[in-house]
Copies of this chain bind each other. A is one copy, B any other.
Amino acid sequence: MANVTIWNEYRHERNNPDVAKVYPAGMHAVLAEALQSAGHNVRTATLDQPEHGLTEEVLAQTDVLLWWGHAAHHEVQDQIAERVCQRVLQGMGLVVLHSGHFSKPFKKLMGTSCNLKWRCVAEKERLWVVEPSHPIAEGVPEHFELPHEEMYGERFDIPQPDTLVFLSWFPGGEVFRSGCTFTRGLGKIFYFAPGHEEFPTYRHPVIQKVIANAVKWAAPSGGPAPTFGNFQPLEPLP
Contacts and interface: CB of A to CB of B under 8 A. Distances in A.
Q: How many copies does the complex hold?
A: 4
Nearest to A221: B135
Given A117-B228, A118-B230, A121-B237, A140 B172 contact: no
Interface stretch (A27-35, A50-58, A184-192): A184-192
Secondary structure type dominating chain A contacts: loop
A89 interface: yes
Contacts of A20: none
A109 to B, nearest CB: 4
Interface residues of A, number: 77
Interface string A187-224: 11000000000000000000000000000000001111
A113 B157 contact: no
A110 interface: yes
A90 to B, nearest CB: 10
Given A172-B233, A173-B126, A223-B132, A112 B184 contact: yes
